[in-house]
Each structure stands twice: as C-alpha cells, then as structure tokens.
Amino acid sequence: MEIQGRVVIVTGAGRGIGAALCHQFAAAGAHSVIVSDRDLAAAESVAQKIGTAATAIACDVSVESDVTSIVERVMAREQRIDIFCSNAGITVKGGLESSNADWQRMWDVNVMSRLYAARAVVPHMLQRGEGYLVQTASAAGLLTEIGSASYSVTKHADLAMAEWLSTQYGRQGIRVSCVCPLGVETDMLDDSDPIHRYLHLHAITADQAAVSILQGIQSERFLILPHPEVLEFFRLKGDDYDRWLRGMQRMRQKLSRDNAGKAA
C-alpha cells in the first residue's frame, strides 16, 4: 500500500518505535497521522514535532472503549482509516513467579488491544473494501524471550491474531502485517536484564525499525523483519525444533552464568 494521502493511527506512539513510525508516515506523505498513547503529553510532543499532518489522541489500548472511541473520532473527522498500527506493548520480566495480575496486564496490553482494534476498525475497512492492520509483535513471537514467559506467550498470541486476521479477511481487501524485531534502542530495553544487554549488541534504532516497517507496508509483506537474521532463526526452528530448543537452553544457561558472574 502506498502511504501518500493515507489516514493512519499508531498506538503507543508517545515514544520509541511508535513515535518513529509516525515521523516516517508523515515524511512519506500521509494525509493524517494520529499519534496515540496512554501518555497524552508524550503523544502531543510527538505530534507537535511532526506538524499539521499529526494529531495527538489519548488512548489506553487495554481499554476497549478507548479504542472504539479513537476509531469513531477519526472516522467522524476523516470518513476513513487506511492503516491502523497496533504498536503499543509492554514487557514484564520473570517466569513462573510472575503474578497473575502481571500476566493479565500483559494479556490486555499485548493481545486484547489487537482484538479491540480489529473489532472497531475492520467493519469500516470491509465497507470500503480496503484497509491495513499492522501489529508490532516481536521476534519473541516467532522464537522466545529467555527472561520473560509472559512476553513470549503474549507475543506469540499477537502473531497468531495477525495470522488469523490475514486468513479471515485477506480476500476482502484487508492487508495485515506482523512486525517481529529483535532489539530496538528504546526505553523497553533495560540494561539490568541480561537478555536485554544481549539484545543491545544487535539493536537497531527506532528510526531504522520504522523505515523497515514502512517498506514492509509498501510491499504488503505479512512478516516484517527489521532484523533479517530472525528469518534464519525461524527457519532453524522449523527445520529441527528439538535442536533449536537445545540451542536456546544453552543460551539461557550461558546468560544466567554470565549474570551470576557479574553479580558476584
């Protein structure tokens, strides 16, 4: 899909990848870029830097009425939404000990938000016979994230939702892309976490990620991989699941040994 003249909503756009995406959409000639975030001040500051093409709107993606309301507002103003980017996401460190409340929060922000967005926007897109849903999942959705069970599980679910949406609506003019980056230099990467320190070694900037995402949308590719090596890891997993799991177990052991060494 060409970006020129399009109406675009990006969630979680107050900083990081979402903010970079808004800048890229505006630079590519989008007619209207809705910078949305639960942090309205952050969204306003991004919109102000972009200029007249951008509007900031508060939206907590884990609250269905917020998502419905942003879609209704933009439909009333523009009569269409061409591209909806479900980008907002969070992470919580930890495995089995993570609290049920943390799991629920991860599920609501990383997964239910994608359902709420599709539920609100797909009927309008079907009516026009055209529309694009973009979901920022993670390489953790194709592979796994060693330090966080809830991130791995919810990002797999994010990818599963995108696959389902594409299967269900692909023949009715709805395009879907799922973005699966490794490390991106944003506030999400936390250097006190050994896996995040490892991700930093191969991290790209948010601007680089956004450029890659726009290219993926322009060529209407389902799987957008700002780090091309992720495809190689995904192939290895598909070729020999047990070998891939043994490799991941080795890496987990090495990272926890390195971390114990640093702590000692």
Length of the chain (residues): 264
Minimum Å gap between C-beta 94 and ligand NAD is 16
Q: Which of 89, 98, 83, 124 minimizes the C-alpha distance to 18? A: 89
259 binds ligand NAD (CB under 6 A): no
Cα dihedral value 12, 13, 17, 21, nearest 10: 130
Judged by beta carbon, residue 6 or residue 38, the one nearer ligand NAD is 38
Is residue 44 near ligand NAD by the rule CB under 6 A? Answer: no
Closest CB 138 distance from ligand NAD, rounded Å: 4
On whether the CB atoms of residues 21 and 3 are closer than 8 A, the answer is no
Given candidates 60, 82, 120, 195, which one binds ligand NAD under the rule CB under 6 A? 60
Q: 107-142: b or e for each residue (b if 16 or more CB lie within 10 Å)?
A: bbbbbbbbebbbebbbebbeeeeebbbbbbbbbbbb
Among 76, 97, 171, 187, binds ligand NAD (CB under 6 A): 187
CA 233 to chain centre: 19
| Among residues 3, 6, 9, 16, the one that binds ligand NAD under rule CB under 6 A | 16
Any contact of residue 38 with ligand NAD (CB under 6 A)? yes
Say whether 66 sits in a helix, a strand or coil.
helix
Which residue out of 116, 151, 169, 198 is catalytically annotated?
A: 151
> Which of these ranges, 24-32, 94-102, 181-189, 256-264, lies near ligand NAD under the rule CB under 6 A?
181-189
The CA distance from 223 to 231, in Å, is 9
151 in catalytic set: yes
Query: How many Å apart are CA 89 and CA 216, to the nearest integer?
Result: 20
Are residues 67 and 61 in contact, defined by beta-carbon separation less than 8 angstroms?
A: yes
Rounded Cα distance, 68 and 59, in Å: 10
Q: What does the alpha-carbon distance between residue 16 and residue 37 come to, in Å, rounded to a whole number? A: 11
Site for ligand NAD in 117-136 (CB under 6 A): 136
Nearer to ligand NAD, 130 or 207 (CB): 207
Using CB under 6 A, which of 24, 32, 55, 138 touches ligand NAD? 138
Distances (CA, A) of 89 to 12, 105, 136: 7, 10, 8
CB of 172 to ligand NAD, least distance (A): 26
Stretch that binds ligand NAD, among 8-16, 126-134, 232-240, 245-253 (CB under 6 A): 8-16
Residues identified as active-site: 151
Q: Which residues bind ligand NAD (CB under 6 A)?
A: 11-12, 14-18, 37-39, 42, 59-62, 87-90, 109, 136, 138, 181, 183-184, 186-189, 199
